[in-house]
Amino acid sequence: MRNLNEDNITRAVLTMHGGGGGYLDSDAVFGVRSSLVADWVERPARPTPDGGSSDIPFYTLDFDFVLAPARDAVTS
């Protein structure tokens, strides 16, 4: 789960889901939206995108988040 919060931006809390998950069509609690389903890409052990390193394979996700301006930012 990721908490996105910036000044003058509407706060959003999102859970990204990997495509092909067995429970995506039957999630009655969270109501998974297709716009939040994405393909995770397996990467071999190597330096990680954040500047660290991993001795084991890991996954990355490329996703563009577009957040709406906060209501008070629009009117001011």
At 53 the pLDDT is 94
For residue 56, being part of any structural domain is answered with yes
State which residues form the domain around 14.
Answer: 2-64
* Angle, alpha carbons 51-55-57 (nearest 5°): 90
For residue 71, being part of any structural domain is answered with no
For residue 22, being part of any structural domain is answered with yes
What domain count does the chain have? 1
For residue 27, being part of any structural domain is answered with yes
Token pair 């001011």 is found at: 76
For residue 73, being part of any structural domain is answered with no
Residue 57: how many CA atoms within 13 Å on its side-chain side? Answer: 6
Token pair 């998950």 is found at: 21
At 48 the pLDDT is 92
At 67 the pLDDT is 74
Q: How does 5-33 read in b/e, with b if 16+ C-beta sit within 10 Å? A: eeeeeeeeeeeebeeeeeeeeeeeeeebe
Residue-level pLDDT, tens digit, the chain, 76 residues: 455 556 766 667 777 777 766 666 666 666 677 777 888 899 999 999 899 999 999 998 888 877 777 766 544 4
